[in-house]
Structure 1
Amino acid sequence: MASAHPPAPVLCGLGTWLPPHVVTNDDLSRELDTSDEWIRSRTGIGRRHVADPGTATSDLAVEAGRRALKSAGLDAADTVVVATTTPDRPCPATAPLVASELGLGTVPAFDVGAVCTGFLYALATAAGFLAAGSAGTVLVIGADTYSSILDPADRSTRAIFGDGAGAVVLRAGDPDEPGALGRVELGSDGRGCDLITVPSGGSRDPIRAETADRADPFFRMEGKKVFRNAVERMAESSQTAAERLGWGVGDVDLLVAHQANIRIMHAVADRLCLPRSRCHVHLDRVGNTAAASIPLALADAAATGRLQPGDRIVTTAFGGGLTWGAAALRWPDVSPA
């Protein structure tokens, strides 16, 4: 007899990649009016990885994807979804190149753009492919090279963002097994589209020869307004994701939040009445890696023993759009590669 429920998306592989070049707060202080104390006190960040010239988002994504497939014990996946704000080019999407470089042939491959919430939007998209029977395995990659869109003179953004990629493999499975994702809770509010943005370079404000001197091709963010929105939306969606699996918030063993800012992460934990000790922190070593943030933090938590098989976890993120989301699962017996 056929199952009464569609297949559940089950996490079965995890891989990450960080460019080897590290930029410390002291390195930044030699270029900008800032200091290690100023950056750490406001963000919790001590260093970040930055891609070398000539290294593109696809390069990071390919390496993370290859490692995720290895972690899952697979040579291939049926579909590739890449979440990124910094594609190799405005056109075409980066995912088809990533799939090709991984030797996956002509599988469906496409990008998802939801800024720092992109990985969760990509997870939800992958879950739909699995539930519909359109794929049996999906490679989901979050990858960004924010160094390519940061204003070299803006100490606030240069202090926060780093480059990196993280990937997971999802397979069709049973909703009661470890690694099965609950419903991914997503939301957006376009009224805040100007709070996190790259103003120029799109169809709203194309960069043309006659307007190039007025163009602003760099990433901009209104930090104070983003902070308030992020805390509220991440806490609400996290609580909903936990409750859909029948958990109370106190049942959550680890909160793996988007690694944006230590103050935001702690404020979300406080609003959920979770001890801050249950909020995993990885940004001190990598900064805000945007769409790569959650898989990188998951891998770090697993590698350092913070995550054990069977642990109840909630992941949550907030990003430009405005967009936000959360997902909950019991951690499977997966070793990051």
Structure 2
Amino acid sequence: MKQAGVGVAITGCGAAAPDAILTNDQLSAIVETSDEWIHSRTGMRERHILAPGQGLSELGTQAAAQALAMADVAPESVDLILLATSTPDDLFGSAGKIQSELGATRAVAFDLTAACSGFVFGMVTAAQFIRTGLYQTVVVIGADALSRWVDWTDRTTCVLFGDGAGAVVMQADEERDRLRGVELCSDGRLNHTLNLGFGGKTTPLTPDFSIDLGGYQPITMNGREIYRFAVAKVPDVISKALFRAELDATAIDWLILHQANQRIIDAVAQRMKMSSDRVISNIHEYGNTSAASIPLALDGAVRSGKIQTGQVVAIAGFGAGLSWGAAIFEWGR
């Protein structure tokens, strides 16, 4: 589908993860579980966890710097930085801190929250700024540190989540549009199935006036409902993005899904009749890193030589909200 305005190219990627690694065997000393139990149900072997005192902004800056280096773009040339995250270092937003640490002195910077769909939503948002001609170069970062909000006594959730960041550089392309098709969806009726909810403590200010003092509850999730939702909705949203791109599934060289669960990844690929050798997965190494999972997987596939310039990549994110979305693009320029 021909898009209005300037075309979009994805010209660089980068990723960062904490050095500290928490293995399945280590988790078995925290809760009643085992490496076999976790791996057979999720595909996960380990996850990277922020060290005490380490910030998400640090990871986001590292990922963005790598992406800019690959794209051969100076930080001073960046017009906009979008940080897709649900777990900023500062509830007011962390994109501004990344802008400063990156040295992107001309860039506007703001956070965007769509949980595990955040990176896809961020790419689509960035594309609109480029297509209208307002900005030429945008850095989109997906970064999360869900380890901060896990109940480490709940084995159904604590085994799933890791921390990390990934980024891409998106640039205006006057010759052609390499972001071929997108589709975004939300269904708030299912909001209750995955939450990191406010849990303030009622605090009296005066004898007749009280407030809820800030705080958040650990992550809660209905795993079965999320599985059913993802397996049903993700193939459909990819198909709609392909329709907008005027392509069919046979045109996809690589499929990168949000790394939530290997069973979900396998089920979606099977429904789309895609062989496993065309599906990118790093879930065994990183676990579920929320908004970071797609760009982390993309960066690994590009740097290992799997994804080549001009190949068609389909990405799809899904998660809290509930939200889901897909994008079809040609890698590189």
Q: TM-score, normalised by structure 1?
A: 0.91
- Alpha-carbon deviation of 1:113? 0.5
- Alpha-carbon deviation of 1:71? 1.2
Alignment check: 8 A CA contact 1:238 1:327 kept: yes
- Alpha-carbon deviation of 1:152? 1.4
Given candidates 184, 191, 194, the residue that maps to 2:192 is 194
When you count strand as a share of all residues, which structure comes out higher?
A: 2
Match of 2:264, SS state, is helix
Which residue identity is paired with 1:89?
D
Which residue identity is paired with 2:257?
A
Which residue identity is paired with 1:289?
T
Alignment gaps of 5+ in structure 1: none
Question: 2:207 — aligned with what?
Answer: none
C-alpha spacing 1:134/1:208, structure 2 compared with 1 (3 Å): farther
Please give the alpha-carbon distance, in whole angstroms, between the structure 1 residues aligned to 2:107 and 2:30: 44
Question: 1:316 — aligned with what?
Answer: 316
Please give the alpha-carbon distance, in whole angstroms, between the structure 2 residues aligned to 1:121 and 1:138: 14
Identity of aligned residues (%): 39
Question: 1:39 — aligned with what?
Answer: 38
1:40-92 deviation digits (Å, cap 9, x = unpaired): 000000011000011121111111111111111111211010000101122x2
Please give the alpha-carbon distance, in whole angstroms, between the structure 2 residues aligned to 1:65 and 1:208: 40
Question: 1:276 — aligned with what?
Answer: 276
1:139-197 deviation digits (Å, cap 9, x = unpaired): 100000111111111112221111000000100014736xx212321000011111111
Alignment check: 8 A CA contact 1:123 1:184 kept: no
Structure 1, 55-64 or 315-324: larger mean CA deviation: 55-64
Question: 1:165 — aligned with what?
Answer: 165
Which residue identity is paired with 1:197?
N
Question: 1:82 — aligned with what?
Answer: 83
- Alpha-carbon deviation of 1:4? 9.5
Question: 2:233 — aligned with what?
Answer: 233
Alignment gaps of 5+ in structure 2: 205-210
Structure 1, 233-242 or 3-12: larger mean CA deviation: 3-12
Please give the alpha-carbon distance, in whole angstroms, between the structure 2 residues aligned to 1:94 and 1:141: 11
Mapping for residues 104-115 of structure 1, pairs under 5 Å: 104-105=104-105, 107-115=107-115
Question: 1:251 — aligned with what?
Answer: 251
- Alpha-carbon deviation of 1:244? 2.2
Which residue identity is paired with 1:136?
Q
Given candidates 170, 181, 194, the residue that maps to 2:179 is 181
Alignment check: 8 A CA contact 1:239 1:249 kept: yes
Question: 1:136 — aligned with what?
Answer: 136
Please give the alpha-carbon distance, in whole angstroms, between the structure 2 residues aligned to 1:16 and 1:225: 30
Alignment check: 8 A CA contact 1:200 1:207 kept: no
Question: 2:24 matched to 1:25?
Answer: yes
- Alpha-carbon deviation of 1:221? 0.9
Structure 1, 161-170 or 231-240: larger mean CA deviation: 231-240
**Root mean square deviation of aligned Cα:** 2.0
1:93-152 deviation digits (Å, cap 9, x = unpaired): 111111111112252111110000000111011001111222110010000011111111
Please give the alpha-carbon distance, in whole angstroms, between the structure 2 residues aligned to 1:207 and 1:270: 46
Match of 2:307, SS state, is coil
- Alpha-carbon deviation of 1:274? 1.5
Match of 1:240, SS state, is helix
